[in-house]
Amino acid sequence: MASRKEQQDKQRSTRLFHDISSLASRLVDIHQKAKELGIFVDDRELLRCPQCGLAEDVTCEGRLTTVQPDDENYADTGMRFEEIDATHFRCPQCRHVLVVMDEEEARNGR
């Protein structure tokens, strides 16, 4: 038979778990809305096409832009790399498919 203190601890743990789950769910929603608004959420490395040089950049406001390599003004082209899946992106300019590795894969040379 559980003591009163053990029951209270279990109730607190259950409430804490539900609070954390609720916050995590809200954070996922905010993350998705930020991406929809064009805000770079730093969930991957910025992309640069090895074929044509088109590259992503981030403004000081956090907006994701895409710039030509020779544009001294860093003007946003309005083009965006197409996410094929979590590790593959298509260049909007030359259609080259980039393979993006996570940090661990890059360290291991995969």
Most confident of 14-18, 60-64, 80-84: 80-84
Q: What is the mean pLDDT of residues 15-31?
A: 89
Closest by CA position to 49, among listed 86, 78, 75, 88:
88
Q: What is the mean pLDDT of residues 86-95?
A: 96
Say what the pTM is: 0.64
Domain extents in the chain: 1-37, 55-107
pLDDT score, position 56: 94
Residue 102: pLDDT over 70: no
What is the pLDDT confidence band of residue 66, given thresholds at 50, 70 and 90?
very high
Whether residue 66 contacts residue 55, with contact meaning beta carbons closer than 8 Å, is answered with yes
Report the distance separating Cα 12 and Cα 34, nearest Å.
33
